Structures are given as structure tokens and as C-alpha cells.
């Protein structure tokens, strides 16, 4: 019984790994959309904090890319 439980557990973890990886990739796409939108809005409306918003959007995109990398490395 134990090997079967271990296999089942292994299958569950593989499923979770794939789930997290797909989630991280989708999140990376979402982060790139935020960058695109922040740039578009900043182009249409120019104000003092635009550069800060674009910087934050890029930082978020980089963090999302790092997350995908970490999912591949750690899990």
C-alpha cells in the first residue's frame, strides 16, 4: 500500500508543480499587460508620477519572470 500512496502523492505533487508553473506563466503574461497598459496610459496622460508607475510595472514584470524561473529551479 505504501508505494501506491507514495506514487499517488508524487502524482499529486507533479500536478501541483504543473499547476503552479502554468499559473506563473499566465501571471507573467498578466504582468506584461500591466506594463503595456501603464505605458499606454502614461502616453495619453502625462503627470508627475508616470515614471514611477512605469518603473513599478516593470519591477513587477521582472519579479513575475523571476517567479517563473524559481518555479522551474526550486520545484
Partner 1 sequence: MTRSTDLDGIAPDDLSVRSDNEIIDQNPIAPPTIPHTELQDDTFRKILGHTLHPLSSTIIDPDFFDFSEREDNEKIYVVLRPHWFTNVSWILIAILMILAPMILGILKINSPLPAKFTFILVLFWYLATFAFTLEKFISWYFDIFMVTNTRVIDIDIHNLLDRKFSEAQINRIQNTSYHVSGVFHTIFNYGSVIIETAGENPDIVFENIASPGKIIKLLQNLCEKNAPTNK
- The contact mask relative to partner 1 for 35-74 (x = CB under 8 A, - = no) is --xx--x-xxxxxxx---x--xx--x--xx--x--xx--x
- The residues, any chain, with a CB within 8 Å of residue 20's CB and separated by 6 or more, are 71, 75
Nearest distance from C-beta of residue 59 to partner 1, angstroms: 8
Query: At its nearest, how many Å lie between partner 1 and the CB of residue 23?
Result: 7
Smallest separation (angstroms) from partner 1 to the CB of 34: 6
Cα gap 43→54, rounded to integer Å: 11
Residues 44, 35: Cα–Cα separation, whole Å:
14
Among the listed residues 16, 18, 22, 26, the single contact to partner 1 using CB under 8 A: 16
Is 14 in contact with 65 (CB distance < 8 Å)? no
Amino acid at each position: 500500500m505504501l508505494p501506491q500512496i507514495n506514487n499517488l502523492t508524487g502524482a499529486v505533487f507533479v500536478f501541483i508543480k504543473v499547476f503552479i508553473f502554468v499559473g506563473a506563466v499566465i501571471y507573467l503574461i498578466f504582468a506584461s499587460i500591466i506594463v503595456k497598459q501603464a505605458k499606454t496610459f502614461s502616453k495619453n496622460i502625462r503627470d508627475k508620477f508616470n515614471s514611477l508607475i512605469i518603473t513599478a510595472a516593470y519591477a513587477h514584470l521582472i519579479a513575475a519572470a523571476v517567479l517563473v524561473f524559481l518555479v522551474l529551479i526550486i520545484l
